[in-house]
Amino acid sequence: MTNTIDRFGTASRVLHWLVAISFLLLVLSGLGLYAHTFFGYFDLFGGPQQGIMVHKWAGIVFLIGSVLLFLSHAGEVCRFDADDRRWIARLGGYLSRNAEEIPQGKFNAGQKLFGIFAVIAALVMGATGLVIWDPTAYSRELTQASFLLHSIFFNLFMVGMIVHVYLATIGNPGTLEGMLYGQVRRSWAKKHAGKWLEKVVKD
Amino acid sequence: MKRKAFLIDTTRCTACRSCQVACKQWNKLAAEATVNHGSYENPPDLTPLLYNQIHFIEQEQGDDLRWLFINRRCMHCADAGCVKVCPSAGALYHTKEGLVAYNREKCIECHYCVSGCPFDVPRYDTKQKVTKCHACSNRVQNGLLPACAKACPTQSLKFGDRDQLIAEAKAAGKKLYGENDLGGLGVLYVLDDEPGTYRLPKNPAIPASIFFWKDVVKPLGILGFWGAVGVAALHYVTIGPKKLDDADDQPRKGGE
Ligand code: SF4
Ligand code: SF4
Ligand code: SF4
């Protein structure tokens, strides 16, 4: 019996990291547009015009990548059962030191919620981003509303991403291995995705 | 430095368009081919090559035609939406006379500013840089009148110390548009009708969406970022990570 279990295939991992890299590029190239304090971040790209270009094309990659990533996991992500509801009610046990683990499927309820949020946010950012691609192309009201929505969802996304990165790295040791190498340790699966482990073992 | 402003008395304007021509000449703006759209108004709107424009309001009243004219341009707002949304500090700025000028070198061609402007003023040139009336700030700083004000033969277009212009107009019993809006506009109008007739907003303000974007969402976002980082760090040191009980990962050694 091996110690590790396959979790994410190569294509799935490549797609995830493509989305992650484009997200990082989007943040770095967009900060200069967000506030004067961050204007210097444009230097990373050789200037504001170049930064804006990177922002636009990274946005396209991110939008398409996010939608594909979501579709490839949609079956798992969109199904919530009684355990998931229990998990949500107890906030995944993250608020106490020795909480009992509620058995979860391939993704826990929090990851599912984040997955759904991420694709909605990506769609909103993408749609509003296309409107403000050229701020003189559409009506003033639509453009102004797009600026507002783009900034609101950026903030939500940023907060969501900080939580996602924390929980997927130091917050839950062993999780990152799945996304890096495609496999997780058996002990990880037992703790974090009990129902998934059972199913995988059975098959 | 005393705040300077234009005072435009529309009741004196004869639509001679000396102002349009003088501006084009001083700013070396090329002529544009336009089409006749059934009015003497020409062109019908501000363009990248037209920083001020005489807008014609033509109202048929029985057999009569009522003709109103208004010089449209940047209003040099104290609380300027264009400055608020511009990501590049100093691309649009207030001069010490309180006029809103711009620096093409600093303009990053994002075209955000027109969305922040309540009067739909900024336009973009062939290089994609911002253009609009800059109140001839270079002339003003050298003690000259703006070219358009200098050219106006009817004194419809006056330029000077804002307080003094207001005091004079009030003494003459005129009602002013823009005295207190947006921190006080740098272009004050004497109108012959309701602002709406002149396609001017009755109570000009920074668009609500722009206000929320820049004054609410932006600061909240910075707070949210550090809040999330702080909460994660706090969680790590108080409740701590969900450590794995790694027993079944380690190869079992005999005797243990
Ligand atoms: S009228 Fe528009 S362009 Fe002019 S200062 Fe006001 S906001 Fe800026
Ligand atoms: S187009 Fe230029 S002036 Fe206008 S907001 Fe962008 S950088 Fe500022
Ligand atoms: S103040 Fe100068 S730039 Fe502005 S409309 Fe008059 S001539 Fe043109």
Does A39 sit within 8 Å of B115, measured CB to CB?
no
Confirm or reject: Cβ of B161 under 6 Å from ligand 2: no
Measured in Å, residue B74 CA sits from the centre of ligand 1 at 5
Given pLDDT bands bounded at 50, 70 and 90, which one contains residue A1?
A: low
- For residue B255, pLDDT beyond 50: no
Residue ranges of alpha helices (H) inside chain A are 10-34, 48-77, 82-89, 109-133, 140-168, 175-181, 186-192, 194-202
What's this model's pTM, rounded to 2 decimal places? 0.93
Minimum Cα–Cα distance from B223: chain A residue: A155
Answer for the pair A195, A105: CB distance below 8 angstroms, yes or no. Answer: yes
What single-letter amino acid sits at B11?
Answer: T
Cα(B117)–Cα(B83) distance, integer angstroms: 9
> Would the pLDDT of B247 be above 80?
no
Mean pLDDT for chain B?
94
For residue B256, pLDDT beyond 60 = no
Give contacts of A152 with chain B, Cβ < 8 Å: 217
- Ligand 2 in contact with B107 (CB < 6 A)? yes
ipTM of this complex: 0.92
Is there a contact between B217 and A143 if contact means CB atoms under 8 Å apart? Answer: no
Q: Per residue in A140-199, pLDDT tens? A: 999 999 999 999 999 999 999 999 999 999 999 999 999 999 999 999 999 999 999 999
Q: What's the B115 CA to ligand 2 centre distance in angstroms?
A: 10
The CATH architecture annotation of domain A10-202 reads Up-down Bundle (1.20)
Angstroms from A28 CA to nearest CA on chain B: 14
Q: What pLDDT, on a 0 to 100 scale, did the predictor assign at position B249?
A: 53
Flag if B240 and A97 touch (Cβ within 8 Å).
yes
Determine the Cα angle at B133 with ends B47 and B21, to 5°.
Answer: 70
B40, B68 contact by CB (below 8 A): no
- What is the per-residue pLDDT across A117-127, written as a single tens digit (0 to 9) for each? 999 999 999 99
> Can you tell me which residue has the tokens 């081919």?
B33
Average pLDDT for B144-152: 98
Instruction: Verify whether the Cβ–Cβ distance B114 to A3 is below 8 Å.
Output: no
DSSP SS3 for B20 = helix
Are B157 and B5 within 8 A, CB to CB?
Answer: no
Would you state the pLDDT for residue B245?
A: 76
Rg (CA), chain A: 19
Q: Do residues B215 and B222 make contact, with C-beta atoms less than 8 angstroms apart?
A: no
Q: Which atom of ligand 1 is nearest to the CA of B187?
A: 1
Q: Do B228 and A3 touch (CB under 8 A)?
A: no
* Confidence at residue A100, expressed as pLDDT on a 0 to 100 scale: 86
Mutant choice from B83, B117, B217 vs A, greatest count of A C-beta within 10 A: B217
> What residue ranges line ligand 1, CB within 6 angstroms?
B 74-77, 80-82, 100, 117, 119, 121-122, 132
Q: What's residue A113's pLDDT? A: 97
As a whole number, mean pLDDT of residues B53-63 equals 94
Q: Which of B209, B211, B215 should be substituted to probe chain A, the one whose Cβ sees the most A Cβ atoms within 10 Å?
A: B209
Whether omega for the bond prior to residue B43 falls within 30 degrees of 0, making it cis, is yes
User: pLDDT band at A99, cuts 50/70/90?
Assistant: confident
Alpha-carbon dihedral angle through residues B130, B135, B141, B145, given to the nearest 10 degrees: 150
Which of helix, strand or coil describes residue B205? coil
Alpha helices, DSSP H, located in A78-139: 82-89, 109-133
Calpha distance A115→B122 (Å, rounded): 41
CB contact A144 to B (< 8 Å): yes
Q: Per residue in A183-197, pLDDT tens?
A: 999 999 999 999 999
The SS3 call for residue B4 is strand
CA angle (A170, A174, A177) in 5-degree steps: 110
